[in-house]
């Protein structure tokens, strides 16, 4: 693509917690032949280009193995966790393959409460003495309470509300990702100003207590003013070929495999 520095971002999963197609569903979207309507659970790959670069993941979907195979993932240099819900963390064990390949421990970044939940869910990975012969992921927990550096880039955590829960979005330069979100407080909106690309969660058209609707997300995108906003975390109510509301210029539905560069 001709880019020698910056970021290359791939949406590896643009679905909600059930994925699309949804189990035992015969709706028009779940039975659609359109590949854009096949959505794995939420995942974002960030390739930091140029000297000292590498690959960061945003969350570890239960579909991580499938996402890695589909998109040629060959290394993981860190994971940015947004929160500890199952559809965002339960593929963590699959990163052990990258431990083998890289012969290195992988840092996990996230809010302290998120990392504690990860430690509980994957207790075997953090035991000092594990079962002999059992391959475990090698992980380091890195609590986040403000901007930090990963792969030589500043990463700015962006606190947002997911219903009653505070979760983190992340900004790297002109790119930011905010997945599960129902409200972005004013201070966090200021952290999202001046973006080239924003990946923003928007579940469906009908209201939901813990997610933005498509219309809400489009309105927020207009306020934030990113050059391009890509909607993700979409459920099976959303047909990629026929949005039920008119999206403003610069706002689009995401799909698995969508890749873009941010200078």
Mean pLDDT, residues 46-66:
96
| pLDDT class of 127 with cuts at 50, 70, 90 | confident
Which pLDDT value is given to residue 52?
86
CA 18 vs CA 21, 108, 178, 189, 258: distances in Å? 8, 24, 19, 29, 20
- Beta 175-178 vs 165-172: how paired, if at all? antiparallel
Neighbours of 191 (CB within 10 A): 20
pTM: 0.95
Q: pLDDT band for 2, please (50, 70, 90 cuts).
A: very low
pLDDT, mean of residues 69-84:
98
Mean pLDDT of 59-86: 98
* Per-residue confidence band for 204, with pLDDT thresholds at 50, 70 and 90: very high
Distance CA 126, CA 92 (A): 13
Query: What pLDDT score does 133 carry?
Result: 56
pLDDT tens sequence across 219-251: 999 999 999 999 999 999 999 999 999 999 999
CA Rg value for the chain: 18
Reported as type and span, the H/E element at residue 116 is: helix 112-121
Tokens of 152: 């030589």
Percent of the chain with pLDDT over 70: 96
> Residue 155 and residue 170: Cα distance in Å, rounded?
7
7 forms beta bridges with 48, 262
CATH architecture of structural domain 6-20+27-252: 4-Layer Sandwich (3.60)
């Amino acid at each position: 693509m001709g880019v020698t520095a910056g970021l290359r971002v791939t949406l590896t999963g643009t679905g909600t917690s059930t994925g699309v197609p949804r189990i035992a569903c015969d709706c028009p979207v779940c039975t659609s032949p359109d590949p854009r309507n096949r959505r794995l659970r939420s995942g974002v790959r960030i390739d930091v280009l140029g000297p000292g670069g590498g690959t960061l993941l945003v969350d570890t979907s239960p579909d991580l193995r499938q996402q890695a195979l589909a998109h040629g993932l060959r290394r993981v240099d860190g994971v940015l966790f947004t929160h500890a819900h199952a559809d965002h963390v339960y593929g963590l064990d699959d990163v052990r393959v990258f431990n083998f390949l890289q012969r290195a421990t992988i840092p996990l970044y996230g809010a302290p409460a998120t990392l504690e939940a990860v430690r509980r869910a994957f207790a075997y990975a953090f035991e000092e003495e594990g079962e002999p012969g059992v391959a475990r992921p090698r992980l380091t927990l890195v609590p986040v309470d403000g901007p930090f550096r990963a792969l030589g880039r500043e990463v700015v955590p962006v606190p947002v509300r997911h219903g009653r829960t505070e979760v983190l979005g992340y900004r790297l330069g002109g790119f930011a990702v905010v997945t599960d979100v129902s409200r972005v407080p004013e201070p966090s909106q200021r952290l999202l100003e001046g973006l080239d690309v924003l990946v923003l969660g928007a579940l469906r058209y009908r209201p939901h207590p813990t997610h933005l609707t498509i219309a809400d997300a489009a309105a927020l995108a207009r306020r934030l003013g990113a050059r391009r906003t890509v909607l993700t975390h979409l459920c099976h109510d959303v047909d990629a070929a026929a949005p039920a509301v008119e999206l403003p210029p610069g706002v689009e539905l995401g799909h698995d495999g969508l890749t873009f560069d941010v200078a």
